[in-house]
Amino acid sequence: MKTPSERRAALIRLVESKTVTRVTPPLLLPAAPYLDLAGEEFGRGLLLTTANDGRDYCLRPDFTLPIAVSYLDEGLLDVPAAYTYLGTIFRQSENGPEEFDQAGLELLGQPDAGQALDQVLTFARWALAIYGVTAPSIRLGGVGLFEAFLAAADISPAWQARIRARFGHPEAMQRLVERLSRPPEKTGGAAPDGRETVIEIVTDAMLSSGLSLVGSREPEEIADRYLEKQTLAAERIPDRMVRLLREYLEVSDTAPRALDRIASLTASYGIDIEEPLLEVRNHAAALAALSPKAEVIFDASFSPRLDYYTGIVFEMTGEDGAILASGGEYDRLLDRLGAPQPVTASGCALWIDRLEAEAASR
């Protein structure tokens, strides 16, 4: 068994190999990109400070975002890049401020996205092996597969967007599916016609109730939300598609069996998603070959809670269930940061403190 210092040295060799560039983003970063991309839920975990000019900054909560920003700022579009990192991140938890060691790999602008993902999976397995973790529990998810499933199903674009927004949020998704499974609600009277009419009705209602039009939700926002609900109600998802959605999200098994189940299930409804299914099959097979002692599970409902993930995602956990490594494909991140053209991206993060604890328990 290696000592902690020997494991650290081996990890440094991995992140400083000749095929990658080790980078160290600043400790203090602008907070706005994190709040814009990850929203209030992630924002609660930031350690924030405000500069004299009124702008908010945070102690580095991850490495992926600043690496992606730097890639764009340096004008590296169309240039394949491979970055590694090893350093401290800072998060706010229920117990107060905490800091953790993380290592990882980010592959940006690679010409072969599938090969890049396999490199990320290999990097994660090599890192876990340094700590003696040769048979982790591995969970795969298919963000791209789920989006292809929604696009091929008899579901309107408005409902597709709403369902996709809940992917990775099991409780919210369950509530939505249960509501869709109930008979449609009957409304008394006809809905107001036209956005301007709705805005005027909302404004009158707010004023007559003594509500201020300043410092609260604006009538336009309420009206748009109301009209969205009316549109969704008018475009109700067919009952058979609601049943299919529920059955799809319930699939969780070893990767071959789970993907076979999805193929059979969708085919029975006349839906063809063989191409994205084949992509997941290939990566699952490569991961199984890379980790012959591990059981690779495909969970159809699994997704990170960040909506910039686009393809295959994964988690590798230890004996106590703690996540040791996680990552996947996140092509939408660069687009959200303002890239003028599509940029492939995949990567993973490793929790070094948890890996050390795992090694110590063996």
Contact 73, 119 (CB under 8 A): no
pTM: 0.84
Q: What is the pLDDT of residues 55-106, one digit of tens each?
A: 999 999 999 999 999 999 999 998 999 999 999 999 998 888 999 999 999 9
User: Does residue 71 have a known ligand-binding role?
Assistant: no
What does the alpha-carbon distance between residue 163 and residue 252 come to, in Å, rounded to a whole number? 19
pLDDT tens-place string over residues 270-281: 999 999 999 999
- Known binder of ligand: residue 331? no
Give per-residue pLDDT as tens, 229-264. Answer: 655 555 678 899 999 999 999 999 999 999 999 999
CB-based contact 118:57 (threshold 8 Å): no
Q: What DSSP string describes 105-137? A: EEEES-S-HHHHHHHHHHHHHHHHHHTT--S-E
- The reported pLDDT for the residue numbered 196 is 62
**Is 294 in contact with 136 (CB distance < 8 Å)?**
yes
| Backbone phi and psi for residue 137, each to the nearest 5 degrees, phi listed first | -80, 125
Is 195 labeled as ligand-binding? Answer: no
Pairing mode of beta strands 21-22, 81-93: parallel
Task: Check residue 27 and report its DSSP letter.
Answer: S
Q: Whose CA is closest to 133, among 354, 358, 360, 315?
A: 358
Q: Is 62 annotated as a binding residue?
A: yes
Q: What is the mean pLDDT of the chain?
A: 87
pLDDT of residue 223: 63
How far is it, in rounded angstroms, from Cα 7 to Cα 252? 34
pLDDT in tens, 205-236: 655 555 545 445 666 676 666 655 655 555 67
Q: With 70 as the cut, is the pLDDT of residue 39 above it? A: no
Tell me what pLDDT residue 227 has. Answer: 57
Asked if CATH classification 3.30.930.10 holds for the domain at 4-24+59-151+248-360, the reply, yes or no, is yes
**Tally of CA atoms within 13 A in the half-sphere of 315 that contains its CB:** 13
Annotated binding-site residue? 146: no
Beta-bridge mates of residue 108: 81, 345
Q: Three-class SS of residue 312?
A: strand
Where helices occur in the chain by DSSP H, the ranges are 4-15, 32-43, 64-73, 113-130, 143-152, 157-166, 170-181, 195-208, 219-234, 239-249, 255-268, 274-290, 332-336, 352-360
Look at residue 249 and give its three-state secondary structure: helix
Q: Is 88 annotated as a binding residue?
A: no
Alpha helix locations (H) across 182-318? 195-208, 219-234, 239-249, 255-268, 274-290
Between 215 and 287, whose confidence is greater? 287
Domain ranges of the chain: 4-24+59-151+248-360, 195-234
**Radius of gyration of the chain from Cα atoms?**
23
Of the candidates 286, 294, 284, the one whose C-alpha atom is nearest the C-alpha of residue 324 is 294
